[in-house]
């Protein structure tokens, strides 16, 4: 993985040295193995910082194609580049390096924009086409790799981080209160928008063509499609699951540097370890982070140790003393985060990646399985709600009814009612209805046909984007490790979208049978008490929620965060109310208070504002 940046000017003009320096400085943390820059001497300027994973000796960027027509900067990995190289060579492509970067270039020459459909991977890249005098941008299907852009005077600028735009001519750094409100409600920003009014994000699964002086022409090449539900037997479902996952893991083991695994011992990371060792003959060193002492042992850590023993893994444990370490670790992690981030787990995830780096440069992760296979506590109710949508006699026949599979409009209305109740209008900012229309269009375009579909759609696009995409990208690169997620292979995500909900939720009254198919598969490799254990997750015993309810230092930190939120003109009282309700529930013994998400969104928003010196010192303008 790497950092990329660049700009395209309207007129022939040299790039001011200060802008080039800012680009290089902003992306430097993303890759410390090398850096490069290129210009055509007239309008196009590209910058790159490299974390070397494959083609260590001949993969430097910016890279030109063998015909000297195309120049690329690329962030990410094309996991199937070996297979694509062989395919493209049969069609006449010539290569002078062993890198996946050159495979993108030669594929683009053969297929143009449609080449992105060939790629299995995570990527954001920019190609300058000298013959056409245009810039081609692309981002992977799920949006694992970031790609932002802005207009700066007479320049179109893009980068892997929003920090690259600081100091550009005309850049004010003005925050969008509408986008921040949306973030607080669902955990991420509206599609294509950012926390900053002057910056945009290329949507996941999208390409853009930019010509000097013209607006980007953006096209979506992929969306998750829930409308292709198909009946299958358990035998067929398990076989297809194993086939896809085995190939996803195989491709993600492909590297010219050591590979390791973040390991909770649960279904997702445990299955990756089992597939790697028993199907692919690769035993991975695995790493767990938690709070675990003799007097306060962690069930999850004990389970991880036992799972590692049963799978024959080299297990490493990192103790995180959260009462003392959480805030310093959080602030250090947030320093490189370019817009608000909603998950406090970045604090100890950053520490975990730092601990892994001396052992490996690539890390596999179980991210994404809970979102696509409905593994969270409470997800069992989604199947109940899907069944309740039809009269009893029709429930068994629901898979044959098109109207049951395609309830997109009603489900969109349900989701929008929640959002509308939690969003405010701000004069001069993005209108609430414009944001809601964007969500509704995507729900419809993806063919969302049930509450289970809706949850997966919202999780992949909003709820857990930070945990699944931004945290591995930013925190991993701060530690100079590349995080790869086999369950977020687009083929696995598409398989899960086709799967009837009975393969995901086994019992509407018992969360033990959530994520049913993956658990049944994992039970082939470990004892039942591990395969069917209640979901906990990495860092289960790091009880920061209890601390926010009871510890005076944590409560003081929360109050400071709310002051920063109020300082940018947002409604801090909403978060204070959620915090008060969260505290009451925690003190009453409620394990998962329903206001926890809103409470944490308020804290993380405020903490980011404090770390980046925003708050009261930088009020948000109304116009």
* Residue 395: predicted pLDDT: 45
pLDDT band at 450, cuts 50/70/90?
Answer: very high
Q: Judge whether residue 396 has pLDDT over 70.
A: no
Q: Read off the pLDDT band of 500 (50, 70, 90).
A: very high
Q: At what angle do helices 177-186 and 596-611 cross, to 10 degrees?
A: 140
- At 22, the pLDDT band (50, 70, 90 cuts) reads very high
User: Has residue 620 got a pLDDT over 70?
Assistant: no
pLDDT at 76: 97
pLDDT value, residue 13: 80
pLDDT at 367 over 90: yes
134, pLDDT greater than 80: yes
User: Once rounded to an integer, what is the mean pLDDT over residues 430-452?
Assistant: 94
- Indicate if the alpha-carbon torsion angle 430, 436, 441, 443 is positive or negative: positive
Instruction: For residue range 403-427, list pLDDT tens digits in order.
Output: 544 467 888 888 999 899 889 899 8
Give the mean pLDDT of 592-609: 93
Residue 203 has pLDDT above 50, yes or no: yes
Rounded Cα–Cα distance for residues 335 and 338 (Å): 8
pLDDT single digits (tens) 142-157: 999 999 999 988 899 9
Query: What HEC string does 382-409 produce?
Result: HHHHHHHCCCHHHHCCHHHCHHHHCCHH
Q: Tell me the β-bridge partners of 38.
A: 46
Taking 90 as the threshold, does the pLDDT of residue 535 lie above it? no
pLDDT in tens, 47-79: 999 999 999 999 999 999 989 999 999 999 999
Mean pLDDT value of segment 93-118: 96
Distances from the Cα of 477 to the Cαs of 50, 139, 248, 337, 447, in angstroms?
10, 18, 22, 11, 35
Contact 405, 397 (CB under 8 A): no
% residues pLDDT > 90 (the chain): 83
3-state secondary structure of 304: helix
Instruction: For residue 569, give Cα distances in angstroms to 171, 573, 607, 617.
Output: 20, 11, 15, 11
The CATH class of 226-375+463-531 is alpha beta
Answer yes or no: are the C-beta atoms of 328 and 596 closer than 8 Å: no
State the burial class of residue 241 (Cβ atoms within 10 Å of its Cβ: 0-12, 13-18, 19+): buried
Tell me what pLDDT residue 406 has.
Answer: 47
Query: Residue 287: which of 304, 309, 266 has the closest Cα?
Result: 304
pLDDT band, very low/low/confident/very high, at 540 (cuts 50, 70, 90) = confident
- The three-state secondary structure class of 219 is strand
pLDDT band at 394 (very low <50, low <70, confident <90, very high): very low
When pLDDT is averaged across residues 340-366 and rounded to a whole number, the result is: 95
Distance separating alpha carbons of residues 618 and 620, to the nearest angstrom: 6
Q: Which residues are annotated as a binding site?
A: 100, 365-366
291-303 per-position pLDDT tens digit: 999 999 999 999 9
Kindly report which listed range (312-316, 318-322, 399-403, 601-605) carries the lowest average pLDDT score: 399-403
* Residue of 180, 171, 199, 197 lying closest to 569 (CA atoms): 180
pLDDT at 623 > cutoff 70: no
Question: What string of DSSP letters covers 314-340?
Answer: EEEEEE--HHHHHHHHHHHHHTT--S-
Q: What three-state secondary structure class fits 44?
A: strand
pLDDT at 402 over 70: no
pLDDT of residue 389: 61
When the pLDDT of each residue in the chain is averaged and rounded to a whole number, the result is 92
**CATH tag for 2-220 (out of 3.60.20.10, 3.40.50.620, 3.30.9.10, 3.40.1360.10):** 3.60.20.10
Q: What is the CA radius of gyration of the chain?
A: 24
Q: Enumerate residues 6+ apart whose C-beta is below 8 A from 118.
A: 80, 84, 107, 111
Answer yes or no: are the C-beta atoms of 49 and 90 closer than 8 Å: no
Q: Taken in order 455, 457, 462, 465, is the CA torsion positive or negative?
A: positive
* Catalytic one of 2, 7, 157, 465: 2
Which residues does the annotation place in the binding site for L-glutamine?
100
| Residue 393: CB atoms within 10 Å | 7
C-alpha of 76 from chain center: 13
| Kind plus residue range of the DSSP H or E element containing 597 | helix 596-611
Binding positions for ATP are 365-366
Q: Over 90: is that where the pLDDT of 335 sits?
A: yes
pLDDT attached to residue 615: 56
Cβ neighbours of residue 16 closer than 8 Å, sequence gap 6 or more: none
Give the Cα separation of 452 and 467 in Å (integer). Answer: 20
Q: Is 7 a catalytic residue?
A: no
Residue 617 DSSP class: G
CA geometry: angle at 10 spanning 7 and 14, to 5°? Answer: 65
Distance CA 116, CA 94 (A): 19
Domain ranges of the chain: 2-220, 226-375+463-531, 544-617
């Amino acid at each position: 993985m790497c950092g990329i940046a660049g700009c395209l000017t309207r007129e022939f003009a040299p790039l001011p040295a200060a802008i080039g320096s800012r680009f290089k400085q902003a992306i430097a943390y993303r890759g410390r193995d090398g850096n490069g820059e290129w210009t055509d001497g007239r309008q196009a300027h590209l910058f790159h910082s490299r974390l070397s994973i494959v083609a260590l000796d001949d993969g430097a960027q910016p890279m030109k194609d063998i015909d000297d027509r195309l120049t690329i900067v690329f962030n990410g990995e094309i996991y199937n580049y070996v297979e694509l190289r062989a395919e493209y060579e049969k069609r006449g492509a010539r290569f002078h390096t062993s890198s996946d970067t050159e495979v993108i270039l030669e594929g683009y020459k053969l297929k143009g924009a449609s080449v992105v459909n060939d790629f299995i991977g995570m990527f954001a890249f920019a190609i300058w086409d000298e013959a056409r005098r245009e810039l081609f941008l692309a981002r992977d299907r799920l949006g694992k790799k970031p790609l932002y852009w802005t207009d700066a005077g007479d320049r179109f600028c893009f980068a892997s981080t929003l920090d690259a735009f600081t100091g550009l001519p005309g850049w004010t750094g003005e925050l969008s209160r509408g986008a921040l409100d949306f973030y607080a409600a669902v955990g991420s920003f509206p599609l294509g928008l950012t926390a900053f009014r002057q910056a945009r994000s290329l949507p996941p699964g999208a390409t853009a063509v930019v010509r000097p002086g013209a607006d980007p022409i953006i096209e979506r090449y992929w969306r998750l499609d829930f409308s292709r539900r198909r009946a299958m037997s358990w035998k067929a479902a398990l076989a297809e699951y194993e086939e896809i996952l085995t190939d996803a893991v195989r491709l993600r083991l492909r590297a010219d540097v050591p590979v390791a695994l973040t390991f909770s011992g649960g279904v997702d990371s445990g299955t990756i370890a089992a597939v790697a060792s028993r199907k692919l003959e690769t035993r991975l060193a695995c790493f767990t982070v938690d709070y675990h002492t003799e007097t306060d042992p962690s069930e999850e850590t004990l389970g991880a140790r036992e799972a590692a023993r049963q799978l024959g893994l080299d297990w490493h444990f990192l103790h995180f003393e959260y009462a003392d370490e959480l805030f310093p670790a959080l602030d250090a992690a947030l320093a490189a985060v370019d817009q608000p981030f909603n998950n406090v787990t970045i604090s100890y995830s950053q520490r975990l990646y730092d601990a892994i780096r001396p052992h490996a440069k690539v890390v596999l992760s179980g991210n994404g399985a809970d979102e696509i296979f409905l593994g969270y506590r409470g997800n069992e109710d989604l199947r109940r709600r899907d069944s309740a949508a039809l009269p009893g006699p029709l429930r068994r026949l629901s898979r044959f009814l098109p109207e049951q599979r395609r309830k997109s409009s009603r489900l969109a209305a349900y989701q929008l009612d929640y959002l509308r109740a939690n969003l405010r209008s701000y004069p001069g900012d993005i209108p609430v209805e414009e944001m809601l229309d964007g969500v509704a269009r995507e729900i419809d375009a993806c063919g969302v046909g049930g509450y289970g579909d809706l949850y997966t759609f919202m999780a992949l696009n909003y709820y857990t984007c930070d945990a699944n995409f931004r945290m591995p990208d930013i925190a991993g690169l701060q530690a100079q490790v590349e995080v790869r997620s086999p369950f977020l292979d687009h083929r696995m995500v598409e398989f899960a979208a086709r799967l009837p909900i009975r393969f995901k939720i086994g019992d509407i009254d018992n969360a033990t049978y959530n994520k049913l198919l993956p658990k049944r598969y994992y039970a082939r490799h470990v004892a039942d008490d591990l395969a069917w254990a209640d979901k906990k997750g990495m860092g289960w015993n790091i009880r920061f929620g209890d601390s926010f309810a009871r510890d005076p230092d944590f409560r003081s930190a929360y109050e400071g965060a709310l002051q920063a939120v109020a300082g940018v003109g947002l409604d801090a009282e909403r978060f204070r109310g959620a915090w008060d309700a969260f505290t009451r529930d925690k003190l009453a013994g409620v394990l998962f208070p329903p206001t926890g998400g809103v409470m944490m969104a308020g804290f993380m928003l405020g903490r980011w504002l404090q770390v980046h010196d925003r708050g009261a010192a930088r009020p948000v303008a109304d116009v």
